[in-house]
Every structure is written in C-alpha cells, then in structure tokens.
Amino acid sequence: MVRADDIAGLLTLSALTGGGMTNLPNDRDALSEKIAWSTRSAETMPSSPQDEYYMLVLEDAPGGRIIGTASLYSRLGARLPFYSYKLGRVTHASSHPPRSFSTQLLFLVNDYDGASEVGGLFVHADARVAGYGRLLARSRYLLIARHRAAFADRTIADLRGYAANGASPFWKAVGEPFFGSDFEAADLHNALHGNQFIADLMPRYPIYTSLLPADARDAIGRPHDDSRAALRLLEQEGFSWDGYVDIFDGGPTVSARTDQIAAIRDCISTPDGRTVIADGPGRYISAQGHGPTFVATIEGAS
C-alpha cells in the first residue's frame, strides 16, 4: 500500500505515462491528495463500500525504487454520478421508397454507479518484461479478496482510449466542440480533476456515430496502444466489454462480477493467514497484511 514518502518516486513515474492517466497525474498536489485518500481508506477498510480509494505501489526490492502503481475505487458514483457512453443501435426503414438504415448511437448513462473499479495500472518499461505488471494487476484482486465486504459485487476497468500523435480523435469530434479546449489541455484537467466537467458540458441527447468523422468512429472502444497489455490481463481474469466507453477518450470500459474474477475465485487462504493464487508453473502470488500493511509478493519460480 502506498505511503506518504512515496511521493517523489510516484512523481518520477508519472512523468513517463505520456498523459491520460487520471490515477497518476504528474502533479505533486494531486498525487499528495490521492496518497492521503488512500491512507485514510486503508486505515478504515469499512464493512461495505462507501467512497474509498486505494493505491498500490510496486517496489524494486533491492533499492526500494518505485517501478509501478495501480489503484482501486470501492464505489463509483458516491460523490458524483459516474458517466459512461453506452453503444446502442437503431434502425430506420421506409416503404416508399424501400430503404432501411441502421446506425449506432452513444447514450450517456450511469449504469456503473455503485460498482468498484480497478485502474491506474502503470509499470516502468524496465520492469514489464519480468512480468511485474501481472503481479501488480493481480495484487488488486487479492486486496479485494482479503477485504471482500469493502468492495461491490461488480468491478469495472476503464482503459485509456486510442490517441494518435498525442491527440484523441474521439475527443476532437465529441468533446472539444463543447469544452472549447484541445486534447492536451483537457487531458491535464481530466488528470487533476476527473471527467465530471465533461458530463456537465456534454449534450444529454444520444449521439449518432454516423455523424462523426471516420477516425472518431474507429476510436470508439479502441484502447490506447499502451493499454493493450492491460486489456489482455483483464480479459484473462474474466472481464469483458459490453459496449460501454469512456466519455473522455472513447476507450473501452470492461466489467466482471467481482466474485467471478479469476484471481478472486481461485485464490486460497493458508493456515498462516496469507492469500495465495497460482500464477504459472511453480510460481504464485502471495498476499498478507490488512489495510495499510497489505503487501503482495511473487514466490517460487522466476
């Protein structure tokens, strides 16, 4: 679990994300607020999800250098409604002349209010080849397993959407006309303050995707190139995409029943109080501690 003295290492790590990660903003004050929120949440670990936030950090054991981070939200929509776009389809038909037309629409919804969320997964490039991203990702589920009552019955993950040359075609077509700012400025605001500003300014009516430019349509539900590995990990745990996308950049929102997430479903409790999940031949991830003392490690074959 993150500590207050991790701030310097997290700032260094955040400079490598390239933007677009609301859970790892390159801003000392914003990061300090998240660390403080995580600390308060870990110290209480309530018997039902309220409005908690937990930040995990991955340390390079020999030197203690922070090489990764991941986050969990216990309950979305506790402070403000959680907005998503839901893809739907409508078909129009005419008998004179005989013609039909089918297109997709984006509906602004709050379907995931009350769900838990895992996110903010980022691992330093030097550590990705060693499989540490998988350790960090699965440690989130072991935290849930060890404090099951503190999380909801459904869990989602909101992945970064596709961007080309630092710009989001989805934002340019859908958000920029209403917010009046380019992607870079909106991305910074999103990282520091969340995406509620988009929900406040966006139209409440469905958006016909056929009226969007081709590059914006192609970006709907498409993950950022750097998020594809994270998506594969989520799919391996049982998450699936049901047509929900992020209202900021159009990235996919995937979900799963919490008790059916593979790491939660298949983990076991040992007599000495650890929670363990197999993670390959002769290798497993072991978690121990509660709240602020929670820690997960890889054990066995490397």
Single out the catalytic residue among 124, 193, 224, 290. Answer: 224
Reported as type and span, the H/E element at residue 237 is: helix 228-237
Question: Strands 283-288, 268-269: parallel, antiparallel or unpaired by DSSP?
Answer: unpaired
Chain center to CA of 167 = 20
- Strand 116-123 and strand 98-109: pairing? unpaired
Q: How far is CA 300 from the centre of its chain?
A: 29
d(CA 165, CA 240): 28
φ and ψ of 181, to 5 deg: -145, 150
Q: In the chain, which ranges are E strands?
A: 53-60, 65-73, 84-95, 98-109, 116-123, 154-158, 207-208, 240-245, 252-257, 268-269, 275-278, 283-288, 295-300
Is 224 noted as a catalytic residue in this protein? yes
Residues serving a catalytic function are 224
